[in-house]
Structure 1
Amino acid sequence: MLDSKQSQYPPLPLVRTWVWMMIESDNPDIREKGKSNLIATFGSLAKANDYVANQLASNK
């Protein structure tokens, strides 16, 4: 059963795409869009990081 808090977040591949956009893109507009998507969804980059880490740990 999915945790109700986890189910409100987008799927991990989408979140990882936003992280890639923020870190790897050469385009400043794409970097900002990735960052703003993460903050809008999770409230902070730290919470987004925690979500990704927890998802990766639970998929092992």
Structure 2
Amino acid sequence: MNSADVELAVACIAALAWIVQTALTDPVEGVIVLGLMYLTVYLTQRFHSPRGRLTLR
């Protein structure tokens, strides 16, 4: 495991902790954040081409 993997793991844990904290303090904002993250991932996967560009399939 190299340092880039460790940094990515720490960043993922920090992002997860931030989402949980947001959801616990303000549930509506937590739902909005999760919805925006889901929408971003969904659209990125839908419009991602094999060459690494975002295109409409």
TM-score, structure 2 as length reference:
0.33
Rg larger in structure: 2
